[in-house]
A and B are shown apart, each in its own frame.
Chain A
Amino acid sequence: MNDARTPSVPDVADRHRRMLAWALLFLGARYMTAVAIRRVDPSTAELLGWAEIGFILAAVGFIIPIFVWKARNRSSPDWSLYRDPDGFVAESLVRAQGASWTVLFLTLIVFEYFARRTEWLSPGLVLEAVLATMLVSFSVAFLYLDRDPGDA
Chain B
Amino acid sequence: MRDVELGNRIKVFRAEHGLTQADLARRIGVSRKTISTIEVGRFVPSTTIALLIARYFDVPVEEIFWLEEGS
Q: What is the interface of chain A, defined by CB distance below 8 A to chain B?
A: 4, 8, 10-11, 13-14, 81, 84, 86-89, 91, 149, 151-152
Contact = CB atoms under 8 A, between A and B. Distances in A.
A151 B40 contact: yes
B2 interface: no
Given A151-B36, A151-B40, A152-B36, A87 B21 contact: no
A86 to B, nearest CB: 5
- Interface range for B: 20 to 34
A89 B33 CA distance: 8
Given A86-B48, A91-B43, A149 B31 contact: no
A11 B23 CA distance: 12
Interface in B12-28: 21-23, 25-26
Contacts of A84: 29-30
A149 B40 CA distance: 9
A96 B17 CA distance: 36
B43 A10 contact: no
Given A8-B25, A86-B30, A88-B42, 13 more contacts: A4-B26, A8-B22, A10-B30, A10-B34, A11-B33, A14-B33, A84-B29, A86-B49, A87-B49, A89-B33, A89-B34, A149-B40, A151-B42
Nearest to B52: A86
A84 B40 CA distance: 22
9 contacts: A4-B22, A8-B29, A11-B31, A11-B32, A81-B29, A86-B30, A87-B49, A88-B38, A89-B33
Most chain B beta-carbon neighbours within 10 Å: one of A11, A84, A88, A91 = A88
Interface in B24-71: 25-26, 29-34, 36-40, 42-43, 46, 48-49
Nearest to A12: B31
A141 to B, nearest CB: 16
Nearest to B46: A86
